[in-house]
Amino acid sequence: MAALAAEGTARGLATTRACALWGLDAQLVRVEVDVAPGLPSMHVVGLADAAIREARERVRSAVRNSGFEFPLRRITVNLAPADRRKEGTGFDLAIAVGVLRASGQLQSTADPLLVAELALDGSLRPVRGCLPRVAAAAARGVDEVVVSRENASEAAAVDTLAVRAARTLREVVAHLDSTAPIVGEPAAPLGEDTSGGEVDFADIAGQASARRALEIAAAGGHNVLLVGPPGTGKTLLARAFPGILPAFTPRERFEASVVHSVAGLLGPDRPLLAARPYRAPHHTLSAYALVGGASPPRPGEVSLAHRGALFLDELPEYPAAALEALREPLEDGRITISRAGAAATYPARTILVAAMNPCACGFFGDAERECRCLPEQVARYRARISGPLLDRIDLRVGVPRVQAAALRSVSAEPSHAIRERVEGARRAARARGVLANAELPLSALRRWSRLSDQTHALLELAVAKDRLSSRGYHRVIRVARTIADLESSAEIAELHLAEALSLRREL
Amino acid sequence: MILTRADPSYPAHLAQCPDAPEALHVRGAFVRGDEIAVAVVGTRSMTSYGERVACDLARDLALSGVTVVSGLAHGIDETAHRAALDAGGRTIAVLGCGLAAFHGSIARRRLLERIATGGAVVSEYDDDFAGAAWTFPVRNRIIAGLTLATVVVEAGAPSGALITAARALDYDRAVFAVPGSIYGAKSIGCHRLITEGRARLCRRAADVLAEVGAMLPARERPRLPLSPLERAVFEAVFAEARHIDEIARDAARPVEEVSATLTLLELRDLVRGVGDGRFVARVS
Ligand SMILES: [Zn+2]
């Protein structure tokens, strides 16, 4: 190791480890720092974005303000592999430690993963996407990681490596040269699954079809559209929906938390999601905010709702571009966004719960209020939901104004009872190798969905009568599979398919 | 086909009118049941309220076995024809031009073809006659003459529908008007008919059926092999459109069974969805 030479003629070369993140894709990066004689300067190479190039200023101040010397020589930083795009502030600490090591101010050869941003005073700041970076490093055999205090509990969710949380660059150096080792963070316990609805289905009167559709949606991961006049309880039904979703498994919690980590939504008090995500973005949001962006890569609402539910109230009010962009994630369970040569892929396996009024004024078909729309306006309003988008919404129900008779009726079934049936259907899906029937690939669908002759004849009849498009064909069988699972029936019976067809009706 | 007044199949009620046309050009055919006919007429620029009323009235009249007569104009007329056909009932369109000279929108030309198969399209003019401004009011007397009652759904201050109503009164047939908003211009004509005592108030098909219904033969239930549940669901929607939730509650059956059953009945052309989760039986 080259010693720091006051004359400025000695040359030093050092490496440290960092982790690059593009979208959700984490890759270990070797940070090479070369301190060479020459005019004082610092260059960062290796497909780095603006935030990384600005690391020069942060690192220089942080090093000086931590009581170290910043070498007044020619410094080159290479982030290898150099052919991969890199973004963000997560390389600061690795570059600073590399500079100290290359200039002889740090002798230790310890080589943990370093993931933190630096403040000008030398303190460590949290970075977005700490969780996927630490998890990726652990999977590649890294046994130690240094992060900021704020990222500590998030990193500790990965329990196969030692997590050291530091406040300042000085503490990191003291740990590395063993003058003041940092005690490892205890592994963060997973904690209770706190999933649940804010509203219990026991408190919702009437609405038998809507309740049934939501049960099927939860059981099979199918998307649902509630159509009805304002004040009929569409929002209430949607808010009760999380309460009938199945238990949040550790694997799902990790997957969903990774997306939230990348979006910078996790914190010291919330290292992993405690409950299935339930996102309800307002209709003023942009397509970018709904499905995510590529440059810089950021997940959108549809990915933040991964393994949970996405509630879009007043569906026709969302920008047309945003609605069209929903088609891919609803079909594939993930979204790839490409722009200006950069591409990022995010998971988006969510259940869409959409609600809409039957017309612009809201009262078309209402028994109690008068609709003020012209017929063409009603048609135009409904046409805002394009055919290809509607095709991906398997369950469509009319939510009527509940009559007093139904309001007086006996108390409705509580959420936990519905959830039990949902769990049963999900167990059947897991036996087929998926979390829900909506994810069944065609080959598996064929294998697990043998239709009786009678059921098959019904399907052919529906096609002959134009009740089913070619895209709808397999989707309706998936829903029928879920309906059969709710009854623990191995075979898809005629009534199962008939109900699935009924829910696919044009409204 | 051309029917002269002397022809025994020339519509009997029309034949009683002093100014009935000497000959009628017909596509499709008149049937016995067409003697119990009601005209549903109104403005070309309807509101969605008017559309809903025309649709509900024509459907319910058709379901009761009444033939719905109108003028195949844009707006209320076409809505009434369509609703009657969709319900599986009969409808007759009276044109103000020759049968081969109808130049409405593509949707209405398609509708004309449907009417010619499931009812009748008639005109007093030669097939190629293009029609003129005066021929449309004149044909309204045929609409009035073919029917036992005329229902005006939406009509502004001057309106062709009011001419039909006036002819119906001349022929001593019943006239009904549907009330609308007192603020808009689309129901001024209807309100005037009611205040002047020339039309009775019509709120639903039952108001009209009270006048003409006695002459209707009892509607037959299809003699099909139906399961008990299918039979119960079919009966529940036989007379009027009902929401799935309502049917399930009244029948005390799980909504999924009712939902599935409705689809099975629908695919056998026995019931029809009318949107927003409501269903009604078809007449056949
Ligand atoms: Zn409206």
CB contact (8 A) between residue B267 and residue A467: yes
CB atoms within 10 A of CB B248: 23
Interatomic CA distance for residues A396 and A209, integer angstroms: 10
For residue B68, give the nearest of B98, B78, B162 by alpha carbon: B78
Interatomic CA distance for residues A384 and A229, integer angstroms: 17
Interatomic CA distance for residues A173 and A105, integer angstroms: 9
Query: Is this model's pTM higher than 0.80 or not?
Result: no
Interatomic CA distance for residues A341 and A449, integer angstroms: 42
Contact yes or no for A353/A308 (Cβ under 8 A): no
Interatomic CA distance for residues A169 and A92, integer angstroms: 10
CB atoms within 10 A of CB A49: 15
Q: Best interface-test mutation with A: which of B44, B46, B48 has the largest number of A CBs within 10 A?
A: B48
Instruction: Taking residues A6-19, report their average pLDDT.
Output: 75
CA of A314 to the centre of ligand 1 (A): 14
Contacts of A257 (CB under 8 A, 6+ apart): A131, A157, A266, A271, A272, A273
Cα nearest neighbour of B256 on chain A: A499
- Which residue, chain included where needed, has tokens 């610092």? A42
For chain A, domains (ranges, CATH) are 2-176 (3.30.230.10), 201-411 (3.40.50.300), 440-507 (1.10.8)
pLDDT one-digit tens code per residue, B46-72: 988 899 899 999 998 988 889 999 999
What pLDDT does residue A6 have?
A: 43
What pLDDT does residue A477 have?
A: 95
Instruction: Taking residues A357-384, report their average pLDDT.
Output: 83
For residue A271, give the nearest of A157, A424, A104, A177 by alpha carbon: A157
Q: What pairs with residue A100 in β-bridges?
A: none
For residue B39, give the nearest of B150, B188, B197 by alpha carbon: B150
pLDDT one-digit tens code per residue, B4-28: 998 988 999 999 999 999 999 999 9
pLDDT one-digit tens code per residue, A261-295: 999 888 887 788 889 999 999 999 988 899 988 67
Q: Is the pLDDT of residue A7 over 60?
A: no
Q: Is the pLDDT of residue B206 over 50?
A: yes
CB contact (8 A) between residue B47 and residue A374: yes
Lowest mean pLDDT among A411-425, A485-499, B205-219: B205-219
- Quickly list H helices, A206-309: 208-220, 234-240, 250-262, 287-291, 301-304
Interatomic CA distance for residues A229 and B275, integer angstroms: 13
Contacts of B24 (CB under 8 A, 6+ apart): B2, B3, B10, B11, B14, B122, B123, B124, B142
Structure-token pair, residue A163: 């997590």
Contact yes or no for B248/B255 (Cβ under 8 A): yes
Average model confidence (pLDDT) across chain B? 89
B241/B101: higher pLDDT? B101
Interatomic CA distance for residues B167 and A214, integer angstroms: 55
Contact yes or no for A337/A297 (Cβ under 8 A): yes
Chain B positions in Cβ-Cβ contact with residue A505 (cut-off 8 Å) = 263, 273
For residue A275, give the nearest of A212, A192, A380, A160 by alpha carbon: A192
Structure-token pair, residue A210: 């809507």
Provide ipTM, 2 decimals. 0.81
Q: Is the pLDDT of residue B239 over 80?
A: no
CA of A357 to the centre of ligand 1 (A): 9
pLDDT one-digit tens code per residue, B149-180: 999 999 988 889 999 999 999 999 999 999 99
Interatomic CA distance for residues B215 and B1, integer angstroms: 28
Q: How far off is chain A from B129, nearest CA to CA, in Å?
A: 31
Cα nearest neighbour of B264 on chain A: A498
pLDDT one-digit tens code per residue, A191-248: 677 777 789 999 888 899 999 999 999 999 999 999 999 988 899 999 999 999 999 9
Q: How far off is chain B from A258, nearest CA to CA, in Å?
A: 38
For chain B, domains (ranges, CATH) are 2-215 (3.40.50.450), 226-281 (1.10.10.10)
